[in-house]
Each structure stands twice: as C-alpha cells, then as structure tokens.
C-alpha cells in the first residue's frame, strides 16, 4: 500500500505521550517533506494541499507542512482542539508564514518548518501570530500574545474548507487501520 509508511507512523505514534507525538511528527516531516513554493509544486500561487497530496509529492510550503502535521497528529489520537495552524508575521521574512501551535502547555509549542526541533512560543519573539484555525474552529490571536479569541467555525477560510472536505471524504479509505 502506498501509504504504509504513514500507517506505520500513526500506529507507532498512538501510544506515545503528546510531547513525544509532536517530536515524532516534527522529525518525520523534516526528513520526508521538502519545502517547495506552491508555484513549483502545484503550479498555483497559493494552493492548500490535502495531507495525501503533500505526501504524494513529498513536498509543500509552510501551510502544507502544517496541514500534514496537524492531520498526522489527529490520526494518532492527539486532541485536535489543542492544535492550531497559525498564520504569523515573521520578523525578517517578507512572505506570509504558518506554523503549527500545540496548546499542551500555557505557552504553546511551535512546530515550524524553518527551524529544527520543538520550541515554546516564548522563545520565538520573531513570530507575531495573527489568526489560527484547526479542524473545527477559527480564532483571532490577541496582539502581543498567543492567546486566542474564538471567532467561529473553521469554514471561514475557503482553501481550508476544501482541504477539510476532501480529507474527510478520503480519510477512512486511506489506511488499513481504523481512524478515530
């Protein structure tokens, strides 16, 4: 099966503690997913790929890598409400950027394709979060912090809605294991 490596990762990650799951997914994606701009990967200016599209190409840009990480953790059983893809403004970086924030501690843990290893948000003063979203919700981030105010359902972002719908349509057929 084409997705055996993903299936094995998910099975191996399920019994781990949340911090270990984060570390496993961060290392796995760093080793197997090449950062590439949307235009060279998808032929579009700003394309948000589904987890399987990313895996099939073994490439994606920052939001694609966040999407793959969020879904891998979700499929391992990580509490998806604790995960948020976060749009940030990054000091010294002109392009839009996204990171995955895991709210397992009061100071979220950041997974960023531009850095190695897990880092607490407090150690990343170069990041200024603007908004965040996950499988269900959309938040605005309070200026100068990582605290979020709920705005509504995640379907406020059209590109994200397409990813959610397409992934929901396929995810139960993706792996031999039953996803929860």
- pLDDT per position as a tens digit, 139-176: 999 999 999 999 999 988 999 999 999 998 887 666 54
The CATH number covering residue 34 comes to: 3.10.620.30
Sheet strands (E) in the chain = 34-35, 59-60, 83-90, 97-102, 109-111, 119-120, 127-133, 137-141, 148-153
Partners of residue 128 on adjacent β-strands: 89
The verdict on residue 53 lying in a domain is: yes
State the pTM of this model: 0.93
The verdict on residue 33 lying in a domain is: yes
Question: How many C-beta neighbours within 10 Å does residue 98 have?
Answer: 24
Q: What is the distance between the alpha carbons of residues 178 and 53, in angstroms, rounded to a whole number? A: 20
> 154: which DSSP letter?
G
The structural domain count of the chain equals 1
The verdict on residue 36 lying in a domain is: yes
The verdict on residue 180 lying in a domain is: no
The verdict on residue 179 lying in a domain is: no
Residue pLDDT, tens place only, 53-100: 999 999 999 999 999 999 999 999 999 899 999 999 999 888 889 999
Structural domain that includes position 52:
4-174
pLDDT of residue 170: 80
Place 26 in a pLDDT band, splitting at 50, 70 and 90.
Answer: very high
């Amino acid at each position: 099966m084409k997705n055996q490596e993903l299936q094995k990762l998910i099975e191996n990650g399920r019994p781990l503690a949340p911090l270990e799951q984060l570390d496993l997914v961060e290392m796995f994606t760093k080793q197997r997913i090449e950062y590439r701009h949307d235009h060279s990967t998808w032929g579009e200016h700003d394309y948000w790929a589904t987890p399987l599209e990313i895996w099939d190409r073994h490439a994606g840009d920052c939001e694609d890598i966040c999407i793959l990480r969020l879904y891998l953790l979700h499929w391992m059983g990580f509490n998806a409400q604790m995960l948020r893809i976060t749009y940030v403004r990054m000091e010294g970086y002109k392009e839009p950027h996204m990171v995955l924030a895991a709210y397992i501690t009061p100071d979220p843990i950041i997974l960023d394709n531009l850095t190695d290893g897990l880092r607490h948000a407090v150690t990343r003063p170069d990041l200024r979060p603007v908004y965040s979203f996950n499988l269900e919700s959309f938040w605005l981030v309070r200026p100068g912090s990582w605290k979020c105010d709920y705005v509504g359902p995640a379907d406020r972002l059209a590109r994200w809605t397409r990813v959610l719908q397409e992934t929901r349509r396929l995810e139960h057929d993706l792996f031999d294991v039953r996803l929860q």
